[in-house]
Amino acid sequence: MDQPVMPRAIGGGRAGRSLAFALLTVLLAACVSAPRTRPGDALLLAAQAQREAILATQKQWQMQGRIALALGDDSGSGRLLWQHDGADYSIQVSAPVSRQSWRLSAREGWARLEGLEDGTHEGPDAQALLRESLGWEVPLEALSAWLRGMRANGLATMQFDDLGLPAQIEQQGWLVQFRTWSNDGPMPMPRRVFASRGDAKVRLVIDAWRDAEQAAKAQP
């Protein structure tokens, strides 16, 4: 049975762990090797700053894809839907076969985590809620920037590929690598993203990026 990326679910049973590992391997195999990189010079960093300024004006966006996670002895995978509307956002991870899922909804000063075995959890901070409920230390604000090929607030070092697009970002102890990019929209957006810190590894395959208008049209 495939299971969503949720420690209380993915840690139970050899069969579940074996399938989760197999799914993780498939996602890894689908990803191309890391591109050649070079440090950012003044022109590359200026272009990156301009790109980030444009993306920062896009307050509403939606990302659909697949996620695979390895955290120590635990691993899992599922489909991912990340929706952003200004300071409000929701993150949903689901496993289609088992029909298990969890959903994190958040706005300023409030967060709710649904789909856990012991019911719904709420708290004033989304990152703290994930840590207390699942044992995850996930930099959600930074992750929402990294997913789009942006630096989060604070110090960061960058490498670029031969096309001048971000190849990796090192920030907050995480190494974020951009393996491939999509050119379907007005500007290139990440297609395959690897993130790691210590024994924590996250792999993302992004199937679709949508702005507010595109997301509304995609609604059934």
Q: Which CATH number fits domain 7-79+91-98+139-218: 2.50.20.10, 2.40.50.140, 3.20.20.70, 2.60.40.10?
A: 2.50.20.10
Which residues share a beta bridge with 62?
83, 210
**Joined tokens for residue 201:** 């590894």
For 101-128, write each residue's pLDDT tens digit: 999 999 999 999 999 989 999 999 999 9
Residues belonging to the chain: 220
pLDDT for the residue 34: 58
pLDDT for the residue 113: 97
Do residues 158 and 169 make contact, with C-beta atoms less than 8 angstroms apart? Answer: yes
Q: CA 101, CA 5: separation in Å to the nearest integer?
A: 8
Do residues 119 and 113 make contact, with C-beta atoms less than 8 angstroms apart? Answer: no
Q: Please provide the DSSP assignment of 113-132 as one string.
A: EE--TT--EEES-HHHHHHH
Q: CA 66, CA 51: separation in Å to the nearest integer?
A: 25
Domain spans in the chain, listed from the N-terminal domain onward: 7-79+91-98+139-218
Phi and psi torsions of 49, nearest 5°: -60, -40
pLDDT for the residue 94: 93
Q: CA 70, CA 134: separation in Å to the nearest integer?
A: 14
With a cut of 50, which residues of the chain have pLDDT below it?
1-23, 25-32
